[in-house]
Structure 1
Amino acid sequence: MGVDFPNRQDIEDAAARIGAHVRRTPSYEVAPGLWFKLELLQHSGSFKARGAFNRILSAREAGELTDAGVVVASGGNAGLGVAYAAATLGVPAEVFVPVNAPATKVAKLRELGAVVHQHGREYAEAYAASTIRVAETGALFVHAYDQPEIVAGQGTVGLELPDVDTVLVATGGGGLVGGVVAAIGDRITVVAVEPAGAPTLHAALTAGKPVDVVVDSVAGDSLGARRIGTIPFALAVHHGMRSLLVPDEAIVEARRRLWDQYRIVVEHGAATAFAALDAGVYVPAAGERVAVVLCGANTDPATLHAETAHATG
C-alpha cells in the first residue's frame, strides 16, 4: 500500500524504550475463557501514555525535540497521555481539544501542566488548529494515532496480553488496534469494534481507502476521529482485520454492565469493545479464549450513575 508501518520488532523496541515510564497493566480471567486487559489502569487513564512516551523519547534520541516542546490535538485521552509523558520528561506541552471535550479531561490536562486550547466541535477542527501552532513554534507534533512511533507505543499493549485466541479492541483513529495487530496479528485474531456512529475503519474497508465519516456517537469524545489513520488502515488490510459495529445503546448498556457485574468504571469508548460481546455482535466459538481491552477510564462517574438510574427506572 506504500505506507510504512511498524512491525513486531518496532513494538518490542518501543517496549524497551518506554518500560521505565509506563505500567504493565494486569489481565484477569473474569469468566471461563473471557479475559479483561485492564489498560484503564495505565498512567493518564488510558493506553495513550504508551505512544506518547515512545514518540517523545524517540524524538529526543534523534535530536528532534526542541525547547518549544510538543503539540497534540485530541478528543481528550491522547492529550492526557502526551501531557503526562511531557510532564514526566520535563517537556512543555500544548494540547488542542474540541470545545465540547469532557470537563473532567480538560481539568486533568491543566492539572498536568499542559497549555490547553479549545477549538471547534470535533477532533478534526482541533487538529487543524494544532498544525498551525506547530508551524508557528517549531514544536514537535505528536499525532493522536497516525505516526509510526505512536502506533508502535500503543502496540505494546499487545505484548502483555494473555494466551488467547481473539482480542477485541475499541477503534477510533486506529492507533491501538493497529499497534496490537502489528504486535500479535500473526498468532492472535484481532477484531476492531467501532461505534455505529463513528465507523472509521468499517467505512475505509468498504471504500478501499480511508474516508471521512460523520461522527455521532456517545463514545465520540474518545473514538471520534473523522477518518481512520493511514498507518492503522494499512495494518488492518495487511492482516485481514474485520470491523464490527455496535450501536450507542449497546455501548451504554455494556458500560453499565461492567459496573454492575465487575465494579469497573470505564468511559464509553472503553465499553465499546465489551459491547460487541455483551450485545451478541461477536459470538465466540465453543472453547474460544477471548480478551477484551478495556482501554480507558477518563469519565465522569456521575454520567454512569445517571445512565444506571435511567436503565433501572
Structure 2
Amino acid sequence: MGACALAFTASATAQSAWPDKPVTLVVPYSAGGPTDVVARLLAVPMGKSLGQAVIVENTVGAGGTIAAARTARAAPNGYTILIHHMGMATAPALYKKLPFDPMKDFEYIGQVLDVPMTLLSRKDFPANTFPELLAYVKANKDKVSLANAGVGAVSQLCGLLFISQIGVNLTTVPYKGAGPALNDLLGGQVDLLCDQTTQTAPVIKDGNRVKVFGVTTQKRLSSMPDIPTLDEQGLKGFEVKVWHGIYAPKGTPPAVRDKLNAALRAGLQDSHVKQRLAESSSEIVPVDKQTPEALRTHLQAEIDKWGKVIRAAGVQAE
C-alpha cells in the first residue's frame, strides 16, 4: 500500500513538473512551407507558456505519413508532438498500408487554424465569371487542364471535389509541389488551379496575374470580401479548408495534454501570431474548436468526407 502511494506521488510530481526539457514539434513537410510557417509561429509563444523551448523538427516524406508514424511511436510523455493538416484525414483512403491509425494512435491536443482555398485560372482564360467557367468547362472538357501539387495534396483534393460536383471529368496535371503548379498557371501552361490562400493571395492581390472564380469557404473572406464563395454561386455545400491540428502519442497523461492545450490556446492568442496569420488570409479556429474533443470529432468527420471523394476518384498514393 505504501509503495503504491509513493509510486503514485512520484508520477503526479513528475507530471506537475512537466516539462523539464524542450518539446519537439514535428512538422511533416519541408521548411518554408505553409505548415512549417504555422509551426514556427506557434513555437515561440507555446514555449513561453510551457517554460521550455518548443523545437520545430521537419520530418518529410510520404505525404506526411512518416512524421505521423514517428510521433505515434514516440514515448507518450509529451516531449514529441505533431502538427499536421487535413492529410491526417485523407491518409487512410490514400494509402493501402498506413503505419498508424489516426483515430487510435494519438491523443488530441486541439485544432489550430483553417486556411481557405481559391479557384483560379490563367489570366487569359476565356471565361470571366463562374457561370461562364462552368459553361466553358462543360463544352470543352477535353481541352481544359486542372493543375495540382501532387497525389494527396490539398490542391488535388479540392480539384477532385470540384470535378465531382460539376460532373465533368477534366484533365488533371500533377506537379511536385504547389509552387511549380502556380508558376505554370501564371505562365499559361495550365488552365485552372485550386490552392491555398497562403500561396494564391499575393498573386490575387496583384490584380491582373490570374482570374479568380471563388473561394472554398461557406462565408466570404474578410481579407478578400469581393470574391464570392463557390457555394453562393451554385456549388452548394462546397467547402475545402486546409485545417491543422496538434497531436501527441496515445497514452500521453491527461495533465500533460492539458498543459499542451493551454500552451496552444496561449499561442493562438499571441498578437504576432494573429497578425501573421491574418496576412495570409488564414483563420484561427474559434475557442470552442481549440479543444481535444473538437479535433477528434472533426478528424473523424473529415475521414468520412474525403474517404468517399478519394475512393470515388480511384486515387491511390504509392
Calculate the TM-score normalised by the size of structure 2.
0.29
Calculate the TM-score normalised by the size of structure 1.
0.30
Higher relative contact order (CA 8 A, sep 6+): 2
